[in-house]
Amino acid sequence: MTNYPHLAQKLFNVPLAITPQKAEIVMAALADRFGLARLFHADGRVVAFDDWDGDIGEPAQARAYEVVAGIAVIPVTGTLVQKLGTLRPYSGMTGYDGLRACLSMAMADEDVQGIALDIDSPGGEVAGCFDLADDIYRMRGSKPIWAILTESAYSAAYALASACDRILVPRTGGTGSVGVICMHVDMSKALGAAGVNVTLIHYGDRKADGSDSQPLSKEAMSRYQSDVDAMGELFVKTVARNRGLSVKAVRDTQATTFLGAAGVEIGFADAVMAPDEAFRSLLAELG
């Protein structure tokens, strides 16, 4: 059974490294599970729910990873979360904990000569992302680790891809979105309309900052923006180190996404290749 309150804690009022469009789809898909009739943009437009692909409640049937001709193929799909508690993608999510375990096992497996991260993800949680990216970066040199995009690697998924030895993107795939976003949910008007008045009793002036039962204060907004800026800078510096780019060059992308060859031109990918061609290229590299 899906733990929706747990999902809410992971998705609302916390920094996410995910594309805004995907974030809106996830929120809209889960809205009625959280007892929300509709979600709105800041300008009052209703968030659309057109193409949710999370398939909530059904476990993925794929193995944790397959070894094909000496290459461990590790799937990195859907929304990325810190702790999923499984080695394989589940309910449209992939856990950093499972990825770390799979990578460790593949690195220690004598039958594995190289590793392919099969990535198609809009990103996900900041928590745990950069620690895993650092781990992948440190694994370089032991066995080839390639990011083979089976369409796109955005935001947190790109942070992981950037740590690999090579990034190969298909023509219609994408890279980038090097940025951080945080969505604050203000339920105060909805609660008031429902005849529910919430009184927050707290010790410490900032203890209630970010509560969904009151509007976000200027002071809280400033503090959250500072935290998001700090994590954004960590993201930028991590990608710059991983890809051998200047910090300024990465920062100047302003979280833009890049389609296919545009990502190669800016240095966010190494070549444009279809996934099967990319896999054959890794095989050739291994000899």
Enumerate the H helices of 80-128 as residue ranges: 96-108
**35-93 pLDDT, tens per residue?**
444 444 445 555 444 443 444 333 433 347 899 999 999 999 999 999 999 999 999 99
b vs e for 59-77, b when ≥16 Cβ sit within 10 Å of the residue's Cβ? ebeeebbeeeeebbbbbbb
Q: Architecture of domain 1-287 in CATH?
A: Alpha-Beta Complex (3.90)
> Where do the structural domains in the chain lie, given as residue ranges?
1-287
Task: Find the catalytic residue in 121, 143, 152, 155.
Answer: 155
Name the pLDDT band for 119 (thresholds 50, 70, 90).
Answer: very high
Per-residue model confidence (pLDDT) at position 21: 60
Distance CA 49, CA 76 (A): 24
Residue 155 annotated to the active site: yes
Q: Please choose, from the candidates 269, 273, 275, 280, the residue with its C-alpha nearest in 3D space to the C-alpha of residue 166.
A: 269
pLDDT in tens, 265-286: 999 999 999 999 999 999 999 9
Do the beta carbons of residue 124 and residue 79 sit within 8 Å? Answer: yes
Question: What are φ and ψ of residue 116, in 5° steps?
Answer: -115, 120
Q: Which of 104, 142, 207, 246 is catalytic?
A: 207
pLDDT at residue 130, as a whole number: 98
What predicted TM-score, i.e. pTM, was given to this entire model? 0.77
Q: Quick check: is 189 catalytic? A: no
Q: Summarize pLDDT for 229-239 with one digit per residue, the tens.
A: 999 999 999 99
Higher pLDDT, 22 or 223: 223
State the pLDDT at residue 56.
Answer: 37
Average confidence (pLDDT) over 219-242: 95
